[in-house]
Amino acid sequence: MLSYCTNVHPAQDLDGIVAQLDTYAAPVRERLGVDLLGVGLWLAADVASALAEDAGARARLAGELKARGLGVQTLNAFPYGGFHDTVVKHAVYVPQWTDPRRLRYTRDCLTVLADLLHDDADYGSISTLPLAWREPWSGADDDRAVAAFEEATAHARTLSGRLGRPLRLAVEPEPGCVLDTVADAVSWLAGRVDPEYVGVCLDTCHLAVSFADPAEEVRRIHAAGLDVVKVQASAALHVEHPSDADARTALAEFCEPRYLHQVRELSPTGEVLSADDLDEALTQLPGEGPWRVHFHVPLHARPRSPLTSTTDVLTDAVAALAASGRPLPHVEVETYTWTVLPDADRIDLAAGIADELRWARTEVAA
């Protein structure tokens, strides 16, 4: 079941979630002409807590989803709250995995998912923060994070036993974080977590920004005894010649204040250079090699030349997973940046999401 992530929509309570289902998810399903549409729910911490404490509210949400032909197999528990504030930037990485609030939020999401999980889902998945932003982080922080994952895993194990299907956490490496790359995530997770309940979320925008080889990274994950629990189907901006005037003009249109847009440059010597945001990159990186920009662009819509997108990284990653002989993970289309695109004021969001999912059904799900 291909899903789309609802973190593109703001909602801070149950009524708000139901309203977004009516405004966007149900019309998207109708546009696609399918009986069932997967939705990867994002629940802000307050609403996740309220649902976790109220079995009746969970039953109501499950009924609202079923009535609209919507199915849940995955949640996005990376943003804790305030994801649609005017300026999010580094706040999206708070609270980190050393903070009791992160554990509580993750436990709440597990409790909610256990009651929402669609009958057709073999397991449930929850994508989560790659520990924290990269600094400050210490060996003591490692120990606290491991303890928190052990508690979350115990809760997942208990719920899975009752449900008869596993609920699994998917740690999502992201440029600039403690677990910056897939290699970082594998190195940290292997031997520290129970792989039956904790694995990797492969965000293919993040993977592209790191200039990693998708097939090699899939092999790395599996060789460490871990699974790709979830794929966030996403694409980054790519610019082959970032020092060109036309390229810099086009890139400047994607500088916006709400989200962090990390940039990596592949230098002529093969070194990967970094900047923590696009405006910084435009003034600090040499521009002697291609850039990848952490800006989730719609999968079906090519950016204005000379920019391109990294959908090839997405399709190569899914091909590698299909060739591995293991069951395919959950696939969730995650483009949360629709409202900050350069032409956002001209976009019909439901139509755009439907077009993107239509592309994904052909190019990815097949």
Query: pTM of this prediction?
Result: 0.97
Res. 100: pLDDT tops 80: yes
Residue range 54-81: mean pLDDT, rounded: 98
Residue range 181-207: mean pLDDT, rounded: 98
Residue range 167-196: mean pLDDT, rounded: 98
Task: Report the chain's mean pLDDT, rounded to a whole number.
Answer: 97
**Whole-angstrom distance, CA of residue 124 vs CA of residue 111:** 11
Q: Confidence class of residue 279 from pLDDT cuts 50, 70 and 90? A: very high
Strand bridging mode 228-233 / 330-333: parallel
Q: Confidence class of residue 142 from pLDDT cuts 50, 70 and 90? A: very high
Contact 112/157 with Cβ under 8 angstroms? no
Q: What is the pLDDT of residue 93?
A: 97
Residues 6+ apart with CB under 8 A from 145: 96, 97, 98, 131
Query: Is it true that the peptide bond before 95 is cis, omega within 30 degrees of 0?
Result: yes
Q: Tell me whether residue 69 is exposed, middle or buried, using C-beta atoms within 10 angstroms of its C-beta: 0 to 12, 13 to 18, 19 or more.
A: middle
Q: Confidence class of residue 31 from pLDDT cuts 50, 70 and 90? A: very high
Q: What is the pLDDT of residue 336?
A: 96
Smallest CA-to-CA distance from 166 within 81, 73, 87, 84 is with: 73
Q: What is the pLDDT of residue 365?
A: 74
Res. 275: pLDDT tops 90: yes
Tens-place pLDDT, residues 316-361: 999 999 999 999 999 999 999 999 999 999 999 999 999 999 999 9
Helix 139-163 and helix 100-116, axial crossing angle in degrees, nearest 10: 20
Residue range 163-173: mean pLDDT, rounded: 98
Per DSSP (E only), the strands in 97-239 are 124-128, 167-171, 198-203, 228-233, 237-239
**Whole-angstrom distance, CA of residue 309 vs CA of residue 307:** 7
Q: What is the pLDDT of residue 11?
A: 87
Residue range 249-261: mean pLDDT, rounded: 97
Domains in the chain: ranges and CATH: 3-235+310-365 (3.20.20.150)
Residue range 47-68: mean pLDDT, rounded: 98
Contact 265/287 with Cβ under 8 angstroms? yes
Residue range 129-150: mean pLDDT, rounded: 97
Contact 59/23 with Cβ under 8 angstroms? no
Identity of the amino acid at 186 = V
Query: Is it true that the peptide bond before 136 is cis, omega within 30 degrees of 0?
Result: yes
